[in-house]
Structure 1
Amino acid sequence: MASSLFSSTASLSSHYHLIFTVLALLLSALIFFLTQKTKSKSLNLPPGPPGWPIVGNLLQVARSGKPFFEYVKEMKAKYGSIFTLKMGTRTMIILTDAKLAHEALIQKGALYATRPPENPTRNIFSANKFTVNAAVYGPVWKSLRRNMVQNMLSSTRLKEFRAVREKSMNKLISRLSVEAEKNNGVVWVLKDARFAVFCILVAMCFGLEMDEEKLEKIDQVMKNVLITLDPRIDDFLPILSMFFSKQRKRVLEVRKEQVEFIVPFIEQRRRAIQNPGSDQTATTFSYLDTLFDVKVHEGKKSSPSNEELVSLVSEFLNGGTDTTATAVEWGIAQLIDNPEIQEKLYQEINMTVGDKKVDEKDVEKMPYLQAVVKELLRKHPPTHFVLTHGVTEPTTLGGYDIPMDANIEIYTAGIGVDPKLWPNPEKFDPERFISKGEEADITGVTGVKMMPFGVGRRICPGLAIGTVHIHLMMARMVQEFEWSAYPPGKKIDFTGKMEFAVVMKDPLRAKIKPRG
């Protein structure tokens, strides 16, 4: 539900280049002696580009001026399916091959199911790794994940929030209509899709009805957290942390703002549970309800603290908002670029439901819609890397050593367009899953051909709810409107850039026409 630390930025920002270059060169000798470790044997790491002493390949990545996923794409062409990047004190082992990903995450799942060490500053927002995504492999992670999946994201529980989703879909269509009326039919796709998803997740998370002003404020607080988590050079060279005191201070300020703003909602929900009927804005159930008394392991008898609760609910909101909304933006862009696909999808919707609004139950009867969404996730996975993996003990993969301190980064976007797995992979072609007989298990259990949600033990727990939202939003948006390029005739630019998810470099503006 979240991208890894390094994959959440387009590249090392240009304003770091000068300080990095000067300090790295001046301190290289000192760092070398401070970080040098005697090893009983040299490791047989995967090959990779040569780098500077100590700073490794950081300079090459920074000076390339390219998004990190573009740099990895270049290295894949040169070094193959598994290679190493030395990023300061971090050893990144990049996997770009479906078979290696399956071996690591499915066949050796427990071994690759943990998270590697990181800059302690990063642990502030996870309450010292007390979240599903951040926790190391062990009892804390197992308890938190089991609680989220069984008590909140099971198929039975998701059905309880159908009314919430329907209300948000109606709100989405209304917002698009109002915006189009004010702007001669032109709308910003990502903004409206993002708000609709966020409304659903807030209702599920807090169990409280909120007005638009509160929703927008929560959204802004969440965005501030994501911005603050952008990578810094001292993430890779900790000795330089002395030069980033201003940034560390900002981290603490944002965390304080996050806690102070979210805790009142937590306490409001706590009171509503303790005094049923006392709060007319409260719904019958929420994610928070499952967290108040969750026991993560036998040694921890107390319930989660308010700060831990803030981290858990923030994870729930952030993990499912941008990734889903971004997928919808890419999906609408592809339908504009391929009007014959848009028309075929509309005809399926019309034949299935007629004049009735599409309901999520109807999705099961729409094979072409399902094929469109699967092709969307193959071609445009929300993140180009899954969350960083680590190993619980030294091991080997592909004939190479994998040490415990390595960051295992899996380039999912490369797998989804691998010509060895997919014929004509660059073409957006939903028919490959219908008439052409292609198959792909997005859970990876039977084999990896695409992994937009990761695979294995750390597969995104929000897979089910994410796909429900994407199917429903795409169906309602196509049922209600005909989508075309703006300005008319403009060629869609499918260049991506890294933010929290991989978004369109040029945010999609589209012209909509209500269906008659």
Structure 2
Amino acid sequence: MTSLFSSSASLSSHYHLIFTVLAFLISALIFFLTQKTKSKSLNLPPGPPGWPIVGNLFQVARSGKPFFEYVKEMKAQYGAIFTLKMGTRTMIVLTDAKLVHEALIQKGPLYASRAAENPTRNIFSANKFTVNAAVYGPVWKSLRKNMVQNMLTSTRLKEFRSVREDAMDRLINRLKVNAEKNNGVVVVVRDARFAVFCILVVMCFGLEMDEEKLERIDQVMKNVLITLEPRIDDFLPILSVFFSKQRKRVLEVRKEQVDFIVPFIEQRRRAIQNPGSDKTAITFSYLDTLFDIKAHEGKKSSPSNEELVSLISEFLNGGTDTTATAIEWGIAQLIDNPEVQTKLYQEINMTVGDKKVDEKDIEKMPYLQAVVKELLRKHPPTHFVLSHAVTEPTTLGGYDIPIDVNVEIYTAGIGEDPKLWSNPEKFDPERFFSKGEDADITGVTGVKMMPFGIGRRICPGLAIGTVHISLMLARMVQEFEWTADPPGKKIDFSGKMEFTVVMKESLRAVIKPRE
């Protein structure tokens, strides 16, 4: 799940365009300067000075750094709360745990809405008809309630245990096959991503599919994520005239997505109407809960096919890359900290012996739980939760928070705050295992880490996400010893922003089957 935009790379790529249309902007400047701006009467948090109209876009673009690194620099200069002007959008960035707790927990309903989306995202969310995109109100409450109560309860998740077991076996087999082809070397994120995607596709559609179909669906979803990468006209709509080809491509990708996914929707619909007619169908799916949901206020009809496609895509994309990213960072840390890998393997071996790790066993492995928690503290899947917005003007930290700003939460800054953690730069599961440090991952009792967000908009997939990460790590460590490729290579823990924060250099690892 991504925030307002993922990196400064796309901004930098369009940097020259800003200068070519500078004359165009000057004429617009005359108009804007004649308007009464709200910011003159507001006490917004401090922030770096910017240019008229474009604000801080130049600084972000010229830095050449991922946006989260730029924000980290601004945090060091401006502190717990600061303002960035990004073209027509104003961002108020929160980097302090107490301010975040006050906003999202103590004043939860007030900060529970969503800021304005760019037109591209609105197209793919069917005009905000998804759990993540919907503004705070009846539609959001209905969609979220349906997802949580009908799909993500512990009872419902248990119904898909065999699906997860099959996917884990497939993961281990793919790793073995790929290692045999490449002298023991595997690309971690690729196989991890496919394994979790297989689970979510079955949960979503209630249909068993061969690898060819799975890979095709995966590619369609990747095309959507690529299309959602930000452009300069997302922040300066006045430049949209220069991006007609890109807008056309957005519509093409959306059509491809709808055209490809709708037949699966119809296949599932027929399977429900005629039980036993489709041998690939299982007993229940997320899609089943959506056919008759009445999420629109006063709406009597069921969701349209386009709305169903958006809800399905959200379910698949929200849980795939976040989990795969966590696995890549986790294996990297186990390679870099072999003593942690050894201790984890010993716990697994003592707990289950020769049998395969089952998710029932995870509850009996406190060190595994500590490893996963430390992984999520050190490497949250995204460095920002999805943008928040207030439902009415308010104040925070002595500053005004108007309704038309993006409230951005810098989660990585909280997880590495030395005021909250001892030696935060070190990957140290012992802090949760034997050193007495702890954190409420939901943020209710206090904020020290928030990889899934907190408050009203906390990720509904928190439980299933932690199950997937725990189970995959346990099976991967049980089956293989993990080392660097080439042997002795120092792991580069630099990150880059895609849909999630991934390793700048995709992790290639050598695996050796356990004896």
TM normalised by structure 2 equals 0.98
Structure 1 CA distance for aligned equivalents of residues 225 and 33 of structure 2: 30
Using the TM superposition, give the Cα deviation of residue 4 of structure 1 relative to its aligned residue in structure 2, in angstroms: 1.4
Once the two structures are superposed, residues 68-117 of structure 1 have per-residue CA deviations (whole angstroms, 9 ceiling, x without a partner) of: 00000000000000000000110000000000110000000000000111
Amino acid at match of 2:144: R
Contact 2:93/2:410 (8 A) holds in 1 = yes
Q: 2:25 aligns with which of 24, 27, 33?
A: 27
Q: Helix, strand or coil for the counterpart of 1:56?
A: coil
2:320 equivalent in structure 1: 321
- Consecutive unaligned residues of structure 2, counting only runs of 5 or more, are none
1:298 positional shift: 4.6
Structure 1 partner of 2:238: 239
The offset of 1:483, in angstroms, is 0.3
Alignment partner for residue 15 of structure 2, among 14, 17, 21?
17
- What is the DSSP-based 3-state SS (H/G/I as helix, E as strand, rest coil) of the residue aligned with 1:512? strand
Unpaired segments ≥5 residues, structure 1: none
**d(CA) in 1 for partners of 2:7 and 2:258?**
25
The answer to whether the 8 A contact 1:31-1:239 is kept is no
Q: Are the structure 2 counterparts of residues 220 and 194 from structure 1 closer, same or farther at C-alpha, using a change threshold of 3 Å? A: same
Task: Give the Å deviation of 1:32.
Answer: 4.7
Deviation at 1:20, TM superposition (A): 1.6
Q: What letter matches 1:19 in structure 2? A: L
* Structure 1 residue aligned with 2:267: 268
Whole-angstrom CA distance in 1 between matches of 2:33 and 2:137:
29
Q: Provide the residue aligned with 1:116 in structure 2.
A: 115
Cα deviation for residue 297 of structure 1 reads 4.3
Give matches, 1:91-106, under 5 Å.
Answer: 91-106=90-105
Residue 185 of structure 2 corresponds to residue 153 of structure 1: no
Q: Confirm whether residue 223 of structure 1 aligns to residue 222 of structure 2.
A: yes
- 8 Å CA contact 2:8–2:61 kept in 1: the answer is no
Secondary structure of the equivalent of 1:322?
A: helix
2:36 matched residue in structure 1: 38
How many Å separate the matches in 1 of 2:9 and 2:453? 22
Cα contact 1:147–1:290 (8 A) shared by 2? yes
The 3 A distance-change label for structure 1 pair 489 and 140 is: same
Partner of 1:437: 436
DSSP 3-state at the match of 1:12 = helix
Distance apart, 1:182 and its partner CA: 1.1
Q: Which residue of 2 aligns with 1:201?
A: 200
Shift of 1:23: 1.8
How far 1:119 moved relative to its partner? 2.4
Q: Secondary structure at the match of 2:9?
A: coil
Partner letter of residue 90 of structure 2? T
Does structure 2 conserve the Cα–Cα contact (< 8 Å) formed by 1:32 and 1:54? no
Pairs within 5 Å for 1:295-444: 295-444=294-443
Deviates more, 1:313-322 or 1:35-44: 35-44
Question: 1:299–1:186: structure 2 CA closer, same or farther, 3 Å change rule?
Answer: same
Deviation at 1:317, TM superposition (A): 0.3
CA contact (8 A) 2:44 2:83 kept: yes
- What SS does the aligned partner of 2:345 have? helix
| Structure 1 equivalent of residue 501 of structure 2 | 502
Q: Indicate conservation of the 8 Å contact 2:370/2:429, yes or no.
A: yes
Q: Distance in 1 between matches of 2:513 and 2:163?
A: 24
Q: CA RMSD in A?
A: 1.1
Distance in structure 2 (CA, Å) of the matches to 1:266 and 1:138: 27
Moved over 6 A (4+): none
Structure 2 Cα separation of the partners of residues 410 and 25 of structure 1: 35
In the TM superposition, what whole-angstrom CA distance separates every residue of 1:206-259 from its partner, at most 9, and x where no partner exists? Answer: 000101000000000000000000001111111111111111000000000000
In the aligned structure 1, how far is the partner of 2:29 from the partner of 2:236?
9
Shift in Å, 1:120: 2.5
- 2: CA distance, partners of 1:36 / 1:324: 49
- Does structure 2 conserve the Cα–Cα contact (< 8 Å) formed by 1:28 and 1:53? no
Look up the SS of the partner of 1:133 in the other structure. Answer: coil
Distance 1:433 1:320 in 2: 25
Looking at structure 1, the residues matched to 508 and 83 of structure 2 have their Cα atoms a distance apart, in angstroms, of 39
Mapped to 2, the partners of 1:21 and 1:176 lie a distance apart of: 49
Deviation at 1:318, TM superposition (A): 0.4
Displacement after TM superposition at 1:435 (Å): 1.2
Deviation at 1:11, TM superposition (A): 3.3
Matched, 1:211 2:210: yes
Tell me which amino acid in the other structure corresponds to 1:330: W
**How far is 1:12 from its partner?**
3.5
- For 1:37 and 1:131, the matched residues in 2 are separated by 35
Structure 1 partner of 2:62: 63
Structure 2 counterpart of 1:479: 478
Percent identity between the aligned chains?
83
* Partner Cα distance (1:333, 1:440) in 2: 23
Give the counterpart letter for 2:84 in structure 1. L
Q: Distance in 2 between matches of 1:435 and 1:28?
A: 61
Residue type of the alignment partner of 1:514 = P
Q: Counterpart of 2:248?
A: 249
Q: Which amino acid aligns with 1:156?
A: T
Q: What is the CA distance between 1:444 and its match in structure 2? A: 0.3
Q: What CA distance in whole angstroms lies between the structure 2 residues aligned with 1:179 and 1:463?
A: 30
